[in-house]
Amino acid sequence: MNYLEFIEKYANHPHYKAPRGNELHAKSWQTEAPLRMLINNLDAEVAEDPVNLIVYGGTGQAARNTEAVKEIIRILLEMDENHSLLVQSGKPIGLVRSHPQAPRVLIANSNLVPAWATWEHFEELKSRGLMMYGQMTAGSWIYIGSQGILQGTYETFAECGRKYFEGDLSHKLIVSGGIGGMSGAQPLAATMVGATYLGVDVDPERIKKRLETRYIDKMTLDYNEAINWTLEAKEKGKAVSIGLVGDIGDVLEKLLNDNIIPDILTDQTSAHDPLNGYVPNGFSLAEAMELRKTNPILYKEKSLKSMARHVGFMLEMQKLGSVTFDYGNNLREFAQQGGELNAFDYEGFVPKFIRPLFCDGKGPFRWAALSGDPEDIFTTDRELMKLFPENEHLIKWLTEAKEKIAFQGLPSRICWLGMGEREKAGLLFNELVRTGKVKAPIVIGRDHLDCGSVASPNRETEGMLDGSDAVSDWPLLNLMANTSGGATWVSFHHGGGVGIGYSQHAGMAVVADGTERAADCLKRVLFNDPAMGIYRHADAGYETAIENRKKFELNF
């Protein structure tokens, strides 16, 4: 199959569908894997808006434009193992000489010199075709649909239950805004931990997509109907998720007026981007889209004021007993800019629930079956449960995931694994490929939201023990460690999750293709990556991380 035939079959814009099976189109699995994952990111089952190459998060793109997509595909089809492709904000810009165990693709997205790192400067560059927003896993080609954030959300809700509700979230109500690509994981995570869930999104299409993929149970445009369903489910202790089309600020105001105070309250609207993400109060979706085009300055002003109002209601609910936390979309920062001076009076989810896991080197370990066969993922589920028989939490997660999660695009899975566990899992997968127990190689990656790969003072590194929240040496070291270790592709982005100016973060993906070369790379990368989390938190003074540094022999 030549290049043009490949494009016609697998990447005829906007119809993207990654190749399946064990037949190579590129020269090796080291280039076939990023090729398939790029196309998979743009599959309509996975991406929020394939027409505009937007994968999730309002504006997070897989590539800068359709010409760039085609050129990346052409290069990956032809490239050998002695070169690496450079991708600058979604555009291929050249090849460098490297070697067979070096990364095949080196990606940098959305990075700006700090004094110029503003949304305004970014948008000006983007309007001239010079940059794109890579989010975290959109521009690094390792997004796997809403499942990608699902277990992190599950872990967060479960820890919240343990901390505040004696581990039992039945008869408890979780309320949140946003039901998009990332926030769409919240309804299913909530029901998996036994809670009742009410989610609000102004865009009905986003909720419909979660219905189709079984991430949410019910949908309505009527507030009263949503409340009746919600209260009945909560009363009976039913784990039901409900999606309500509406403005989250208006709904929170109505809940306050009706004296319906959620047990748990958070938010995952696209508040990281006041212009192209969040929809201001008082506008229909169509009206908001028009205002974005005609008067972006006014749009942003109204968006910030709406966020302030939104957070004001969240603070009122916190005073009335809701366990309230920020879910990492930078809502508090922009609400403060919009006039809510007390926006940071509730904590972020990382310091509140997740940081102890980071100190163990734990984080979102994900993998995709390049065969396209769901049975390959089910095989990895079973083998992981055999590998870690003592990990009851992991076994419960994998069992429920098989029953409740619908695959989007290439069949994939995620689970949180820590230091030592990731390396064992990677070598296990490589052996499954070598022995033919799975039908094609497996791509291993992770969210950039990991224990040692992000500097994000309003999210992953909020409230660090030593005050080093904004030090971004750590994600740079993570990038270099994974590059030197032999990841198949690596990435370094700016802004993902919280917006331009507020974070820097590194990603990696490594292929298990059943070879000795792959085993060598897996041993290095899946050691280095979680080790960075322990180094980072031990250096900040966390006792658990200091103990883990000794336990895993990470001292000099």
What is the 3-state secondary structure of 465-496? CCCCCCCCHHHHHHHHHHHHHCCCEEEEEECC
SS3 248: helix
Please report, for residues 184, 199, 274, 356, 499, the alpha-carbon distance to residue 269 in angstroms, rounded to integers and kept in the order given: 10, 10, 10, 26, 13
Q: Judging by beta carbons within 10 Å of its beta carbon (0-12, 13-18, 19+), is residue 12 exposed, middle or buried?
A: exposed
Residue 175's DSSP bridge partners are: 198, 265
Please tell me the total number of residues recorded for the chain in this structure: 556
Pairing of strands 323-324, 196-201: unpaired
Please confirm, yes or no, whether 415 is among the known catalytic residues. yes
Pairing of strands 363-369, 412-417: antiparallel
State how far the Cα of 486 lies from the Cα of 207, in Å rounded to an integer. 40
Please report, for residues 19, 342, 508, the alpha-carbon distance to residue 493 in angstroms, rounded to integers and kept in the order given: 27, 30, 11
State how far the Cα of 207 lies from the Cα of 224, in Å rounded to an integer. 18
Q: Read off the DSSP letter of residue 116.
A: G
Q: Which long-range contacts (CB under 8 A, 24 or more apart) does 163-171 make?
A: 163/353, 164/323, 165/263, 168/194, 169/193, 169/194, 169/195, 169/263, 169/264, 170/194, 170/195, 170/237, 170/239, 171/196, 171/234, 171/235, 171/237
Which amino acid makes up residue 287?
E
Q: Read off the DSSP letter of residue 450.
A: S
Contact 183, 269 (CB under 8 A): yes
Residue 390 CB neighbour total at 10 angstroms? 6
Contact 413, 379 (CB under 8 A): no
Sign, CA dihedral 437-442-444-447, equals: negative
Buried-exposed string 250-262: b where 16+ CB fall within 10 A, e elsewhere: bbbbebeeeebbb
Contact 304, 278 (CB under 8 A): no
Task: Say which of 359, 415, 451, 521 is annotated catalytic.
Answer: 415
Which amino acid makes up residue 126?
K
State how far the Cα of 55 lies from the Cα of 507, in Å rounded to an integer. 16
State how far the Cα of 209 lies from the Cα of 216, in Å rounded to an integer. 9
Active-site residue numbers? Answer: 415
